[in-house]
Amino acid sequence: MSSSIAQIRAGLVSQLRNVYGLNVYGAEPGQITPPAAVVVTPSITYHTSFSSEGGLKTYEFRVLVLVAQGLLDEAAHTLDTYADPSSTLSVRSAIEKDPTLGGIVDTLVVSSFRPMNAEEVTSLQYWGGEFLITVYAR
Amino acid sequence: MPVLKDCNIWYGGYDLTSAANQVDIDTSFADVDVTVFGNGGVHQRIAGLEDSKISVMTFLDPALSEPAITSKRGGTTDLFTAVAFPTSGTVTVGDQFYAVRAQLDSFKEPMKVGDAARIEASLMTSQVEGLLQGQVLAPKTTVSATVSSAGATLGAVSAGQIAYLGVHIFAVTGDRTVTIRLQSSPNSTFTGGTVTSRVVLSTVSAAGSQFGSSATATTDPYWRSQITLGGTTGSVTYATFAAIQ
């Protein structure tokens, strides 16, 4: 099992497409149609295990979920729904449903969610939140 | 000072390299006090019995590190090998290894929510040769025909010394059987009818480890391993190494 970033990103995109109504982007797009999920290029910890070629690496993927262009009541409720692990639209549940992404990674865990701060909302011009996904892959 | 990145870890026919991220080889000698009267009031000491302990940390892979470790429950002795600094990251003939036939002393599986699952093993040397330090003869490779490794210069075996051969067989497919020999020669090309088999291991047909030794003194400085395959289909993935001490 040796996975590329592109393969892992595609695996996450595939899982996110199971969230009804969510527009999923595999890379940072110029424009989006909310509600949207954007899989951002991960930070990587190399050499998690021995073997430079086939060893374990730790990827920290960020998935931005953007729901509206302003903080409206409806937008806040929509974001709640995506963040709620018991919701039928739960982003965490959709990603963790197959923790090997079809056998291309060793395992993954959606470790956290946080709403965007005011600076990020201003910068992106969208209200939303960020999921952090830790992926272990060789 | 090299940075450890590609330490190859082999244990009982399992290649734990891609699952392991820490190995400790701790060798110590008992402190034996031989102080006598009239020595000026200072302790005198000699080194006593040698003991080696190995600890290895792996991420829990249900098909690799977990069976490699848990299959040794109940005091099973098996061969543990570490090639700490492979040449340019790839194990090569002549690379230095540390090896020990060790008994599983303990293992633990720390479990913390959100963490990657791990399994850690602690081993203790259990055979008379103790910790071996020598050279790789055949890096991990897959063969489907009889083949000899390249030669390594291990040097002569003096009276009182022993030549050791260690083998990890990682996989056997088809109907293959495997017989591995440790051979020496006075010339580096192993030609001219001067090749002598010093150790012949028993024929096997499954993955695992093997170990053998020869106490016969020789001036031959060059050593290699030869793998002889039986059967007609399939292949064998293996690695060999030798030490003289």
ipTM confidence: 0.82
The pLDDT score that the predictor gives to residue B229 is 97
Please give the share of chain B, as a percent, with pLDDT higher than 70: 100
What mean pLDDT value characterizes chain B?
Answer: 95
Band of pLDDT at residue B39, cut at 50, 70 and 90? confident
CATH of A5-137, one of 3.40.50.300, 2.40.50.100, 3.30.70.1700, 3.90.550.10: 3.30.70.1700
B-chain residues near A50 (CB < 8 A): 4-9, 17-18, 20-21
CB contact under 8 A, B7 and A50: yes
B6 inside 8 A of chain A by CB? yes
The pLDDT score that the predictor gives to residue A30 is 79
Model confidence at A118: pLDDT above 90: no
The pLDDT score that the predictor gives to residue B1 is 76
d(CA B117, CA A28): 32
Band of pLDDT at residue B40, cut at 50, 70 and 90? confident
pLDDT tens-digit map of A3-59: 899 999 999 999 999 999 999 999 877 788 999 999 999 999 999 999 988 899 999
Model confidence at A71: pLDDT above 70: no
pLDDT tens-digit map of B138-150: 999 999 999 999 9
Q: Note the pTM of the prediction, 2 decimals.
A: 0.89
CB-nearest to A52 from B9, B59, B89 is B89
Burial of B92 (0-12, 13-18, 19+ CB in 10 A): middle
Band of pLDDT at residue B41, cut at 50, 70 and 90? confident
d(CA A48, CA B123): 23
Q: Which residue has the tokens 């599983």?
A: B104
B-chain residues near A56 (CB < 8 A): 18-19, 21, 59
A57 in Cβ contact with A48 (< 8 Å)? yes
Of B46 and A76, the structure prediction assigns the larger pLDDT to B46
d(CA A55, CA A38): 28
A-chain residues near B114 (CB < 8 A): 109, 111
Ordered by where they begin, the domains of chain B are 8-31+45-125 (2.40.30), 138-244 (2.60.120)
Model confidence at B190: pLDDT above 70: yes
d(CA B88, CA B91): 8
**DSSP conformational letter for B124:** E
The pLDDT score that the predictor gives to residue A59 is 97
A52 inside 8 A of chain B by CB? yes
Q: In whole angstroms, how large is the CA radius of gyration of chain B?
A: 20
Band of pLDDT at residue A75, cut at 50, 70 and 90? confident
pLDDT tens-digit map of B192-214: 778 999 999 999 999 999 999 99
Q: Please tell me the distance in Å from B186's CA to the nearest CA on chain A.
A: 36
Which of A112-116, A119-123, B175-179 has the lowest average pLDDT? A119-123
CB contact under 8 A, B59 and A49: yes
Give residue limits of the domains in chain A.
Answer: 5-137
Q: Please tell me the distance in Å from A134's CA to the nearest CA on chain B.
A: 9
Band of pLDDT at residue B3, cut at 50, 70 and 90? confident
> What is the total residue count of chain A?
138
Of B160 and A1, the structure prediction assigns the larger pLDDT to B160
Buried b (16+ CB within 10 A) or exposed e, A39-60: beebeeeebbbbbeeebbbbbe
The pLDDT score that the predictor gives to residue B176 is 97
- Residues 44 to 83 of B: which have CB under 8 A from any A CB? 58-59, 61
Band of pLDDT at residue A1, cut at 50, 70 and 90? low
pLDDT tens-digit map of B110-129: 999 989 999 999 999 999 99
CB contact under 8 A, B8 and A51: yes
d(CA B76, CA B236): 24
